[in-house]
A and B are shown apart, each in its own frame.
Chain A
């Protein structure tokens, strides 16, 4: 009896085990045969992960290797909604929102999205990152990213431009040289454990990121600071609508400083207006006024229609020509060609221009680079306006020689004055000198480019002499320096009003010059748009030139050339 009982019990146990085993065999078989593909994909999704390794964007240095832009670490919070339990989402949002400084609803909306990956907040600092980490929330992770920072805040903002949220260049050098600076992303295909830790031993593929290259500019941080300091003072003093200054090496075309006003803080570019971001030096066209007389005078000298001593009768300040009445700022009678330019007589200049063939005047305007882009390596440059003689009106011959009916950019003007300073060559302005790698090996260099010869050496020397006189004896007296000789030309241009006539209240004051006059080291253009209180180029722009030139020449350790009173060059 007892033996049969134990057998039946054993039989029951065997049946039980057999049933359980059968169940598992059936289950395993069904999983292997019918759901294996689906489950394999599901497991792979959980374990295998493809990580993008973002490259570090290259730095931007000035000509002395002082850092102007660099990448800095920030952290971005992202959610993987499928890893957060539906019931927990409310609680996750409640905990996360105050740390991120967001509304709970906004966080909840993001983590409820039917997506595998959702950004919650980008670009957090180290402190916020630690706070998020301390919360230790499932499905909420941090990703290290790079953000562009500019140690000098707003210095050279229009040159540098800025990089956006994804470290992509959006303006200035950041945009123009984005292909060099941004680098190439790398990838890591790896496996993660249940706690979402990477298992390096199971790395399946690893392509390292190629870091961005660095750009070395021709800009000098100290010169840029001097230029901005002086421009800013004038911009505020004269309550101008806008202002521009460019300092250039006349021989190499290297831009040592370029600044505009209004400006903006590069570290906070989101809060600035388009007006502040506009690089007026290359995008804004204006009538240059008397500064353009350097082109007229050079053309006359090249065509040998005048000599320095040739006398022109300046009609006592009022002259009817080509259907309009010309005025001089002060009445003059007989002036030599040299005095016409020195004293900036409109009547005298037009009389000089009338001796030149109009095609020649146009040809030299083109040779000086007007009406076409200079090719400066920052985006947004425009051609300017210069009409061919076939499209000239009756009045053009009385307007163009004195800088009316022509639209120029500041960078065109500084190139033109540099052509006179350097002996007659038009050089291409350049901002970036070379591209280097982490080891400071030069990957690509951008050497100076001589575009063409504009005027002969003799004409250039004569023009230097005239422009030296324009500063010493003419309208540019405020540009005189104590220790250095300077040469330049003032410009006071009336702006065209909404009615299409020249305004008597809105002016563009400018000064284009170089120093030292004998052996130029720098060419400078200063332009103030609609200055108030005073509007003459000689009063508003020339002092800025003088202050900047004095400090820059000292900074560059240029030997003073006014050892004794210089009367002749």
Chain B
């Protein structure tokens, strides 16, 4: 009886120690996995940074001018007579007020779906990170 009690205690202590060790090993293995993932993320962020840098370089005015010169493309600002003022064109396209009123009145009697999704105005993503 005495021996079995001693054995039980030893067994219990061994099991607890084993579980604790196993837990530590698992935690360390997990941390290796996390570290590997972190490295992967860092690599992707580095690539993103590289791309941002390259885009900025490609957009640099001197670079663009050099490319245009190399390809013998001469950019010239348009003269005033070459410009069409868009607001004037837009005004010409505007429907007469009476036609608009009639259209709005007719719209009151047309069937519509009960719920309409409101289009969300997507903000231009200017954030870098």
Contacts and interface: CB of A to CB of B under 8 A. Distances in A.
Interface of A: 59, 65-67, 70-73, 144, 149, 151-153, 155, 193, 197-202, 221-222, 225, 229, 438-440, 483, 551, 554, 560
Contact of A225 (B30, B42, B62): B62
A225 B46 contact: no
A153 B65 CA distance: 14
B80 to A, nearest CB: 6
27 contacts: A59-B128, A65-B126, A70-B53, A71-B49, A72-B50, A72-B53, A73-B46, A73-B50, A149-B53, A151-B53, A152-B56, A152-B60, A152-B62, A155-B61, A197-B32, A197-B35, A198-B35, A200-B34, A201-B28, A201-B31, A222-B61, A225-B61, A229-B65, A438-B128, A440-B126, A483-B80, A560-B80
Contacts of A222: 61
B27 interface: yes
B33 to A, nearest CB: 10
Nearest to B58: A151
Given A72-B50, A200-B34, A67 B28 contact: no
B129 interface: yes
Interface in B59-96: 59-62, 65, 77, 80
Nearest to A71: B49
Closest 5 CB pairs of A and B: A151-B56, A200-B31, A225-B61, A201-B27, A201-B31
B20 interface: no
A440 B127 contact: yes
A299 B28 CA distance: 80
Nearest to A560: B80
Given A155-B62, A198-B31, A483-B80, 7 more contacts: A59-B128, A70-B53, A73-B46, A152-B62, A153-B62, A199-B28, A229-B65
A25 to B, nearest CB: 22
Nearest to B38: A200
A560 B81 CA distance: 12
Contact of B57 (A151, A199, A202): A151
A317 B93 CA distance: 65
B120 to A, nearest CB: 19
A540 B34 CA distance: 65
A155 B56 contact: no
Most A CB within 10 A of own CB, among B27, B31, B32: B31
B79 to A, nearest CB: 9
B61 A221 contact: yes
A429 B96 CA distance: 50
Contacts of B60: 151-153, 155
Contact of A200 (B35, B49, B65, B129): B35
Contacts of B28: 193, 199, 201
A438 B129 contact: yes
A66 B59 contact: yes
A143 to B, nearest CB: 13
B47 to A, nearest CB: 10
Nearest to B31: A200
Nearest to B30: A201
Contacts of B57: 151-152
Given A438-B129, A439-B127, A70 B56 contact: yes
Contacts of A144: 42
A222 B32 CA distance: 48
A4 to B, nearest CB: 32
Contacts of B52: 67, 70
Nearest to A438: B129
A153 B62 CA distance: 9
Contacts of B50: 72-73
Most B CB within 10 A of own CB, among A66, A201, A225: A201
A202 B24 CA distance: 10
Nearest to B27: A201
Nearest to A59: B128
Contacts of B46: 73
B61 A152 contact: yes
A66 B56 contact: yes
Most B CB within 10 A of own CB, among A59, A152, A155, A202: A152
A155 B65 CA distance: 13
A144 B45 CA distance: 13
Contacts of A229: 65
A551 B77 CA distance: 8
Nearest to A68: B56
A221 B57 CA distance: 12
Contacts of B32: 197
Contacts of B80: 483, 560
B48 to A, nearest CB: 11
Most A CB within 10 A of own CB, among B35, B49, B60, B127: B60
Nearest to B33: A200
B129 to A, nearest CB: 5
Contacts of A149: 53
